[in-house]
Amino acid sequence: MQPTIDRSPLSVKTSTMTSHRIIDRISPLWLGVGISGSLLLLMFLIESVTGRWAGLFVDGEFDPLARVEEGMLRDIRIAIVHCLVVGYLPAALLHAMRSGRRTVLELQKVLACTPMECEALAKSVRLSTRSLVIIGLAALVMGLSTPYLVPPIPEAPWNPATWSPEVAWARILGPVSMILGWWLGYAILSVSVRLSRIAKTLATIDLLDISPLAPFTQLGLTNALLLIGSLSIWSLMMVETGFGQLMLIISGVTLVGTSLALLVPVYGVHQRILQSKKQSLEWVNSELVSEQATFLAPQAGQESGRMSDLIAYRSMVESVPEWPFTLSTYTRAALYVLIPIATWGVGLIAEEILGSFFN
């Protein structure tokens, strides 16, 4: 049975050649480093030109990780985290799109499509402009509300006249990071759903060897890591006071998203495995029924051992995992979840070391 591949003009000509070239040529790593590095450099230049570094001293001493409820030191650390996040999120979004398209190309054999058809199918992994706009507006509203979730809550958080240069960075980059974060979540979900649907078009599944389906699992792990990466940067906020409620919300949403990012890409594969197992078990059970009479009343010259072969085959089919996960998959997923905790722990250790050094 050959897979049904959408070859309609709309699915092939979904976006311009320019957008595909941008996605293919830009390095996510250098994009993230370039954005974050530029923002940090600009911030440090502004702080130097305006001569505001003296405000970093707390009680006459410089402790870069001192816990303070307000002040320039706290504000500039928050601004640094926002610079890092705003650089990471577009890089992660670009990587998510590229990973989805690369996964389709890696599945050429199991999809039974020609290189040209697989290329067109890979280009169909895209984002809806309308959805991006709607999600962006919703994220903007959420981003504008975040200052009200972090104590101490200013009287007029969106009055630029009350902003210090350090607060201005957080006020401007906060909504931007919220929009980019929601876009990343949408991109991962959209790509995952698309790949899950593509998995349902698989020509055949060899229950004796499901390793050709590994690209689906790898995509799920990659998506999970991208979301956990953003949470790891946000976890640096735990050094500050007043971010407990906001971090609880961000952590909860990210962990739920991480679970979906891991499971959704392989859900179509899961269904195809179930379907193949059902078909194989129906066949072997019917063969066992037909062989039962012969087994109970053997005749001379009849082939022996077929019944045991059928039983062994049925046991093998029943033992095939219904999800294309291995022990390595579960181990890596568990380690990914520990990354934000490790980041937070490193922050606490660095606080102690730097505090002892400067004191």
Torsion angle (degrees, nearest 10) of CA 227, 229, 231, 234: -140
State yes or no: pLDDT of 61 exceeds 70: no
State yes or no: pLDDT of 1 exceeds 50: no
pLDDT for 107-155, tens place per residue? Answer: 877 776 777 777 777 777 888 899 999 999 999 999 999 888 887 788 8
Give 34's pLDDT tier (boundaries 50, 70, 90).
Answer: very high
pLDDT for 218-268, tens place per residue? Answer: 999 999 999 999 998 888 877 666 777 888 888 889 999 999 999 999 998
Task: Round to whole Å and give the CA distance between 174 and 217.
Answer: 33
The tally of CA atoms less than 13 A away on the side-chain side of residue 180 is: 21
- Per-residue confidence (pLDDT) for residue 341, from 0 to 100: 79
Cβ-based burial of 41 (10 A; exposed 0-12, middle 13-18, buried ≥19): exposed
pLDDT for 63-112, tens place per residue? Answer: 555 565 666 778 888 889 999 999 999 999 999 998 888 888 888 777 76
Give 8's pLDDT tier (boundaries 50, 70, 90).
Answer: very low
